[in-house]
């Protein structure tokens, strides 16, 4: 890509016609580069400007009075929470988002400031320092914070998830020991489930925890742990019993425990404001008092944590998409081609309208799932899966389209839109790859279409897949089929095959 | 410690990040469906009052506004930031008020509540009048310290550093006094989530504006016309300094 020439030597335009607003010329473009300046959108200028100026200009991301205004339909309280989160994001996060990404800084002080406002344990009970808010309130808050820096907000959501797990499944002593310092973000937490050999198939994890007196000795390793190495508290799913989900327990480890070490910091496409490392256990000794819940309950705890985690990650995607739509809108009004602003171009107008529509649809799905979860409805888990699947996909598409609308500028790191695209790409992958949603949602659909259930052997427990039962969807087949059914390919055919195998009552 | 009540006047204005549009007719801006929020200078005034209370110099912060029912949300924000209670001097829907009307309402409240200090923002970002504090001080016959960039309470008096055209001026005013806050007085806090929830329980009193002596009818200041500035005309390049000066003289600029 050619950069605009510096003033003083504009190339002569072959057609002899002034090309207004021509800045970056891509190879193959007939008109010569006139050395004109880049579109002076407020957001672009502010991107590298002093924090205060940036904050003022970037506050436009609050999305004032438009059809995608994220505050429609909210209660007065929720609007207040959202306002605080937007203000915090615009002032404390947005001006530094690029720097944190470029220098891979884990913004500890900024997150602690957020925790002072109550963002450290949003849905944790107040008696241990949490804010005691609902899932919907949490979704709204993360969506707003994400407009400032998606990567940091995503880490904060993981942290919140861990604190909630300790708050909900820990006994009084554990809650008092861990939650207050986590809610204030004096200490940070990481969620350790994934291993090199078990990602989607989380129930097959291998990290072992052998009981020795009143301790567990852990051996194994976890991969792709957000915050790993920099955080203080690790919520680890490990195997205390037999194979499958029922043999998994949940232990809380602290940095500094002998035998706990970390791998190298991974280099990532996005999410650079949070470190990602492997977590390694070599004869790591953990007191039994650090176990959350009962032995064998670990997988259920992990999955229930993930329900909320999925809404939170989806909410982070919503925030990034919202910010991207506003950035695209601004760019279209400023950038001129063919003698008029891009905003007069019907194709782009339609594009913007589509982006707004998809954003609204995604937001409604996420908020609906959040409501279902906080009401404890039976279909909550499937709704969370579906919402996460839909919202992360749609929002990535929106951010990508916004980047496209920026033209060549969208590809430059001077402009924020590329960071949103990079940061939310991983939301489609983690906290449950898309495929597993198809699996679980497919199972849910199967139940709801009330097909004839196959007859199970009498030892029906081993036929019920724990992950799906923990999610509230009883799948009779994934366990026995081993890898389950991945429907990311020819979706329709797999579903049909699935149903056929059931009605045929195959003896598996 | 003697009770020292601070009355803070606030205003609900169009949010500063909104792109304002002139309403059809040209005599007002569009306010329907547009996001409103607490005036930034009022926020600074409120922050100062809350800090005074936290430092122990004041005992109670009462926040008040003259507005329609929608202003209640602004008062809730103020309560979330730390005010103890709120008073809404309620106007009928569609009614407007200018600085004089606001000053009359605040004066009546001041006589009722007996504050030692009244803190206002120096101006509202919608009309930029910069009059309310001054008119209020005149009605009450209290000393005034406007454009305050530093405030410190002393027994029976308040020391105010003012930002004036010539630089900084420091005054000592006998209490009770009226102060208006300028930009550099402080940096307003974010409302914390727990405070937002506590704000629901704080008292918010609604008083009809007429009860406070606000005259019915249109405000004293009437806005005649609003128009956008003319679009920027093209410039002109000249060859020499002489021709530049000639052209400037010709255009009457020098």
The DSSP result for A47-110, as a single string, is HHS-HHHHHHHHGGGG-TTSTT-TTTT--HHHHHHHHHHHHHIIIIIGGGHHHHHHHT---HHH
CATH of A300-446, one of 1.20.140.10, 2.60.120.650, 3.40.50.1700, 3.30.70.100: 1.20.140.10
Q: Where are the domains of chain A?
A: 67-187, 191-295, 300-446
Q: Which residues of B touch A131 (CB under 8 A)?
A: 193-194
Cβ A252 vs Cβ A235: under 8 Å: yes
Reading the block at residue B121, the tokens are: 């923002």
Integer angstrom CA distances of residue B67 from A147, B9, B83, B128: 32, 11, 18, 17
For testing the chain A interface, which of B190, B195, B199 should be mutated: the one with the most A CBs within 10 Å? B190
- Find the catalytic residue in A143, A431, A466, A479: A431
Torsion (CA) B95, B98, B101, B102 in degrees, nearest 10: 100
- The pLDDT tens digits for B223-251 are 888 887 888 888 888 899 999 999 899 98
Question: Does residue A72 sit at the B interface (CB-CB below 8 Å)?
Answer: no
Say if the Cβ atoms of A83 and B17 lie within 8 Å. Answer: no
* Average pLDDT for runs of 10 along chain A of length 508: 37 37 37 43 47 43 64 92 94 96 97 96 96 96 97 97 96 97 97 92 93 96 96 96 93 96 96 97 97 94 91 97 95 93 94 95 97 92 92 97 96 96 94 51 43 34 35 38 29 33 35
Residue A280 forms beta bridges with which residues? A221, A261
pTM of structure: 0.79
- The pLDDT tens digits for B86-124 are 999 999 988 889 999 999 999 999 999 999 999 999 999
Question: Does residue B169 sit at the A interface (CB-CB below 8 Å)?
Answer: no
CATH 2.40.50.140 fits A67-187, yes or no: no
Return the number of other C-beta atoms located less than 10 Å from residue A29's C-beta: 12
- A459 assigned to active site: no
Say if the Cβ atoms of B197 and A77 lie within 8 Å. Answer: yes
Say if the Cβ atoms of A84 and B190 lie within 8 Å. Answer: yes
- The pLDDT value given to residue B223: 86
CATH 1.10.3720.10 fits A191-295, yes or no: no
- Rounded average pLDDT over B150-156: 94
- The pLDDT value given to residue A297: 94
> Can you state the percent helix, strand and coil of chain B, rounding each to 5?
30, 25, 45
């Amino acid at each position: 890509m050619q950069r605009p020439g510096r003033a003083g030597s504009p190339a002569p335009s072959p057609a002899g016609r002034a090309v207004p607003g021509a800045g970056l010329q891509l190879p193959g473009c007939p008109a010569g580069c006139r050395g004109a300046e880049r579109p002076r959108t407020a957001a672009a200028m502010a991107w590298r400007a002093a924090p205060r100026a940036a904050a003022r200009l970037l506050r436009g991301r609050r999305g004032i009075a438009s059809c995608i205004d994220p505050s429609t339909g909210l209660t007065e309280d929720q609007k207040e929470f959202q306002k605080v989160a937007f203000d915090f994001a615009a002032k404390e996060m947005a001006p530094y988002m690029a720097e944190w990404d470029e220098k891979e800084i884990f913004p500890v002080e900024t997150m602690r400031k957020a925790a002072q406002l109550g963002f450290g344990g949003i849905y944790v009970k107040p008696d241990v320092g949490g804010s005691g808010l609902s899932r919907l309130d949490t979704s709204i808050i993360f969506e707003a914070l994400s407009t400032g820096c998606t990567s940091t907000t995503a880490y904060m959501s993981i942290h919140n998830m861990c604190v909630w797990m300790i708050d909900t499944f820990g006994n009084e002593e554990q809650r008092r020991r861990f939650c207050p310092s986590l809610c204030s973000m004096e200490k940070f937490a990481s969620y350790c489930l994934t291993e090199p050999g078990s990602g989607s198939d989380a129930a097959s994890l291998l990290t072992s925890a052998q009981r020795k007196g009143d301790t567990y000795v852990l051996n194994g390793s976890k991969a792709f742990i957000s915050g790993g190495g920099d955080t203080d508290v690790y919520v680890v799913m490990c195997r205390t019993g037999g194979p499958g989900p029922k043999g998994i327990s949940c232990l809380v480890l602290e940095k500094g425990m002998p035998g706990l070490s970390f791998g190298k910091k991974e280099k990532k496409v996005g999410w650079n404001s949070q470190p990602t490392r492997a977590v390694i256990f070599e004869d790591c000794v953990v007191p039994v008092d650090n176990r959350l819940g009962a032995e064998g309950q670990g997988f259920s705890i992990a999955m229930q944590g993930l329900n909320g985690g999925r809404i939170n990650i989806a909410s982070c995607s919503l925030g990034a998409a919202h910010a991207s739509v506003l950035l695209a809108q601004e760019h279209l009004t400023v950038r001129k081609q063919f003698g008029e602003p891009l905003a007069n171009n019907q194709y782009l107008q339609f594009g913007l309208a589509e982006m707004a529509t998809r954003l609204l649809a995604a937001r409604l799905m996420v908020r609906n799932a959040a409501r279902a979860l906080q009401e404890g409805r039976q279909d909550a888990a499937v709704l969370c899966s579906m919402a996460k699947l839909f919202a992360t996909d749609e929002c990535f598409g929106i951010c990508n389209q916004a980047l496209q609308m920026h033209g060549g500028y969208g590809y430059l790191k001077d402009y924020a839109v590329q960071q949103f695209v990079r940061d939310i790409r991983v939301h489609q992958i983690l906290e449950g790859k898309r495929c597993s949603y198809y699996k679980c949602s497919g199972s849910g659909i199967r139940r709801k279409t009330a097909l004839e259930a196959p007859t199970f052997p009498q030892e029906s427990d081993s036929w019920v897949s724990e992950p799906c039962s923990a999610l509230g969807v009883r799948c009779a087949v994934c366990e026995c089929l081993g890898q389950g059914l991945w429907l990311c390919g020819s979706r329709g055919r797999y579903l049909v095959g699935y149903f056929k195998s059931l009605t045929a009552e195959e003896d598996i | 410690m003697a009770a020292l009540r601070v009355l803070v006047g606030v205003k609900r204005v169009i949010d500063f990040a909104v792109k304002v549009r002139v309403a059809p007719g040209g005599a007002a801006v569009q306010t329907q469906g547009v996001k409103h929020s607490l005036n930034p200078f009022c926020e600074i005034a409120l922050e100062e009052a809350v800090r005074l209370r936290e430092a122990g110099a004041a005992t109670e912060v009462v926040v008040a506004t003259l507005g329609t029912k929608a202003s209640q949300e602004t008062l809730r924000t103020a309560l979330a930031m730390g005010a103890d209670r709120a008073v809404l001097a309620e106007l009928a829907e569609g009614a407007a008020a200018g600085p004089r009307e606001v000053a009359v309402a605040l004066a009546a409240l001041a006589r009722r509540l007996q504050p030692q200090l009244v803190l206002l923002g120096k101006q509202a970002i919608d009309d930029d009048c910069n009059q309310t504090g001054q008119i209020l001080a005149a009605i009450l016959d209290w000393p005034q310290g406007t454009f305050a960039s530093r405030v410190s309470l002393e027994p029976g008096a308040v020391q105010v550093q003012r930002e004036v055209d010539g630089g900084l001026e420091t005054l000592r005013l006998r209490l009770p006094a009226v102060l208006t806050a300028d930009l550099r007085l402080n940096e307003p806090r974010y409302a914390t989530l727990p405070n937002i929830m506590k704000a629901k329980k704080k008292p918010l009193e609604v008083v009809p504006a007429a009860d406070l002596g606000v005259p019915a009818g249109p405000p004293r200041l009437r806005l005649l016309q609003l128009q956008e500035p003319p679009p920027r005309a093209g410039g002109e390049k000249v060859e020499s300094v002489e021709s530049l000066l000639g052209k400037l003289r010709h255009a009457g600029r020098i």
